[in-house]
Amino acid sequence: MKRIGFLAAIWAAASAQNYNHPTTGLAGTYSGGCQVHTCSGTYYDNGGSGSDYANSIPLVYWTFCPNNSTQCLRATFTSFNVEQGCFLWTCCGYWFGGSCPGEPCCYDWLAIGNGPAQNSPLLFWGCGMTGPGTVTSSDASGCLTFRFCSDWSTTRPGWSANLSCVNCTRQPAGNSDCQNSTPVCSNAGITDVSYGPGASAQCGGCVTNENYTNFYIFQPQGASGNIQLSVCPSNGTDDYDVAIWGPFATNDLSVLCGSLGAPVRCTYAVYPWDPGPPPCGAPGACTGLQNGNADNSEDVCGNGWVAPLYATAGSYYILMINGWTAGAQGYNLTWTLPPGMTLNCTPLAQPVVAFRAEVRSGEGVFLSWRYDLQRLEAGASLAGWAIDRSGDGGVSWQTIAQLPADITTYMDRSPFVGENLYRLRYGYEDGRTEVYLKPQRVEWYPAAGSPFTAWYDAAQESIHLQIFDQGRGGPIELYTLDGRLIRRLEVESSPFLTAMGFVVKDPGVYIVQYGGQRIVVPVIR
């Protein structure tokens, strides 16, 4: 097991969570449960750290996503042992017939997809004792999806993987999160593309997992009555589902999105082979709410359509469109409203629709945000912005900039070395102030100067090292003052901070060498 920074290890042991792979799918799908948003923890097979995995796990998958919008999930496998081999055998519908369709040949297997959907492009597929190593998402969502199959006999110890996050460039989240729901301004058709799940999961009822989601909020006006709608993929083959929550008396998304629960309407539009087992599956790609249907919710064995929704004028409703197809080309949403009903733009409690922090090497951290005047309350007017920064994870904040309302970018040229947390505040002309719901976290290190720091921690009897060399990598060595080599460790190439340490019991003066530079570290007891 590789050594990590001692302080990081202590914190991880105290706060990290264990995740055991599910064994059954929900609502007739292969989804083992709603996606997990995390940047720490240990992911195991269903047997956990001390037992083998179970037999007869049928392609069940689980998705893990980062818990912020600027990073991608990484899984580092520390152990891997999954049954290998084949002889006239079938595993989860894959017929090997005595020969293997490629290597390795697997009775049981683990697949890792690059994204939040069960059929995301594969980063790994295999078995045996040679595991995936380190796997990092490069998908627009930053997510990884793990799918497992085991046959009816013989098990193995399975796997263990440490979860973490790394900085990356991702597709802007847009309205992929409930908190960023897009107001619907009319009954005109909507064409949209979804790039991933939001930062917080909305699961309940027949919604078993967010894959590629978009959220909308709408308010019927003028008359109450039954709403029909349809969602059809732009290319005719992608798979989208629909869920609706409501009615609500408020449009405050910070309140609503914390506890949506089970939707009042929920559909599946699938093909006979995906995502549920045959013979389930709707005959077509479109889905929605349509006259002639009596059910309010269905599982994967439904026909893709549910009953119209009786919507009350003046109330608020949240609509989620959930795509199950990796790389989908988008969809078309059309409405059929009863006589006298219109859908007007819905003012929301949060006029800001996006806030991003981007590290720019040698410059600092570039902050940008967007807002929508249609979200403002009637008569309200923005006065300006304030940027707050925290170096202790949000315990304390410092205001670093105050800007007029027409400025929507700011460059922080003196960020903290290491973690920076930013939040955006906005003020109204009447004196009220609010904080945008989603702060942004980045790590920043100077591009020039020493590629590492080293110091002695007497409480832990160790020399701590932090390496920020923009991906150089190589050996780091510990010497005595007279030039005797004591320890040598290899540093993997990485554009991010690497934390390591040397245990030192004897007092004296030591030299740490890395990247052609040396730091002298006195050890005094």
Where residue 496 falls among pLDDT bands split at 50, 70, 90?
low
Q: In whole angstroms, give the CA distance from residue 470 to residue 479.
A: 24
Give the residue-averaged pLDDT of 381-404: 86
Q: What is the Cα gyration radius of the chain?
A: 26
Q: In whole angstroms, give the CA distance from residue 286 to residue 234.
A: 10
Least confident of 5-19, 25-39, 141-155, 180-194: 5-19
CA angle (477, 479, 480) in 5-degree steps: 165
Q: In whole angstroms, give the CA distance from residue 390 to residue 362.
A: 20
Q: Comparing C-alpha atoms, which of 145, 21, 132 is closest to residue 81?
A: 132
What pLDDT score does 238 carry? 84
- Other residues' Cβ atoms within 10 Å of the Cβ of residue 357: 26
Q: Is the previous residue joined to 279 through a cis bond, with omega within 30 degrees of 0?
A: yes
Higher model confidence: residue 60 or residue 2?
60
Give the three-state DSSP class for 178. Answer: helix
Hey, CA dihedral for 15, 16, 18, 24, is it positive or negative?
positive
Q: In whole angstroms, give the CA distance from residue 181 to residue 236.
A: 25
Beta sheet of 409-412, edge-to-edge order: 352-360, 364-371, 409-412
Question: What percentage of the chain carries pLDDT values higher than 70?
Answer: 85
112 within 8 A of 123, measured Cβ to Cβ:
yes
Give the residue-averaged pLDDT of 39-56: 93
pTM of the model: 0.66
Tell me the pLDDT tens digit for each residue of 144-192: 999 999 988 889 999 999 999 988 876 666 788 888 888 888 888 898 8
| Strand-pair partners of 368 | 356, 409
Q: In whole angstroms, give the CA distance from residue 133 to residue 126.
A: 12
Task: Judge whether residue 223 has pLDDT over 60.
Answer: yes
Helices (DSSP H) in 206-278: which residue ranges?
Answer: 253-256
Q: In whole angstroms, give the CA distance from residue 325 to residue 275.
A: 10
Q: In whole angstroms, give the CA distance from residue 84 to residue 324.
A: 30
47 within 8 A of 20, measured Cβ to Cβ:
yes
**150, two tokens:** 């085991």
Where residue 324 falls among pLDDT bands split at 50, 70, 90?
confident
Least confident of 61-65, 124-128, 282-286, 362-366: 282-286
Where residue 270 falls among pLDDT bands split at 50, 70, 90?
low
Task: Judge whether residue 46 has pLDDT over 90.
Answer: yes
What pLDDT score does 349 carry? 67
Where residue 318 falls among pLDDT bands split at 50, 70, 90?
very high
The letter for the amino acid at 65 is: C
Q: In whole angstroms, give the CA distance from residue 168 to residue 170.
A: 6
Where residue 273 falls among pLDDT bands split at 50, 70, 90?
very low
What pLDDT score does 463 carry? 87
Q: In whole angstroms, give the CA distance from residue 322 to residue 334.
A: 16
Q: What is the largest CA-CA distance in the chain?
A: 90
Q: In whole angstroms, give the CA distance from residue 235 to residue 250.
A: 36
Tell me the pLDDT tens digit for each residue of 449-489: 566 778 787 777 888 887 776 566 788 899 988 888 888 88
Q: In whole angstroms, give the CA distance from residue 160 to residue 128.
A: 14
CA angle (426, 431, 437) in 5-degree steps: 30
Hey, CA dihedral for 470, 474, 477, 483, is it positive or negative?
negative
320 within 8 A of 211, measured Cβ to Cβ:
no
Task: Judge whether residue 104 has pLDDT over 80.
Answer: no
Q: In whole angstroms, give the CA distance from residue 384 to residue 518.
A: 48
Q: Kind and range of the H or E element at 7?
A: helix 6-15
Mean pLDDT of all residues belonging to the chain: 82
Q: Which domains does the chain have, with CATH numbers?
A: 6-167 (2.60.120.290), 178-343 (2.60.120.380), 352-444 (2.60.40.10), 452-523 (2.60.40)
172 within 8 A of 354, measured Cβ to Cβ:
yes
Task: Judge whether residue 283 has pLDDT over 70.
Answer: no
